[in-house]
Amino acid sequence: MKKQIMMNIPMQQLKDRVCKCGGFIFVSALALKEVPPIYSPSGQIETAMQQVGFMCIQCGNVLPIQPETTKEESKIICGDGKEEVADTPKIVLVKS
């Protein structure tokens, strides 16, 4: 079993996620999925919920669960000192 680590994170120091309309209050956005009888524990058609993001209460825009990184946030510095935009996180080993 995994051991959980408890951390106290000061929420006032974290960056707010803001909608493109300027709204900053969101509600959960769910997709409803139909579960066929063959997969359903009751043997009947049921409904399953899948969280797909957060809906802005000001304009209705849905933000994804994971924040999108900008090209500026995803820049890395390679071992040769050149900047590179990382499409996926990379580990760069520098020989000393």
Which residues are CB-contacts of 68 (< 8 A; sequence separation ≥ 6)?
none
Q: Residue range 65-82: average pLDDT?
A: 63
43 inside domain: yes
- Kindly state whether residue 80 falls inside one of the protein's structural domains: yes
- pLDDT single digits (tens) 58-72: 999 999 888 877 655
Instruction: Give a yes or no: residue 73 inside a domain.
Output: yes
Residue 91 lies in a domain: no
The CA distance from 59 to 69, in Å, is 22
**Residue 34: what pLDDT?**
95
Residue at 4 is within a domain: no
DSSP code of residue 21: T
Query: pLDDT, tens digit, for every residue of 6-49?
Result: 888 888 888 889 999 999 999 999 999 999 999 999 999 999 99
Regarding predicted confidence, which is higher, 84 or 24? Answer: 24
How many structural domains is the chain composed of? Answer: 1
Domain contains 62: yes
Q: Nearest 5 degrees, angle CA 92-CA 95-CA 96? A: 130
d(CA 62, CA 73): 22
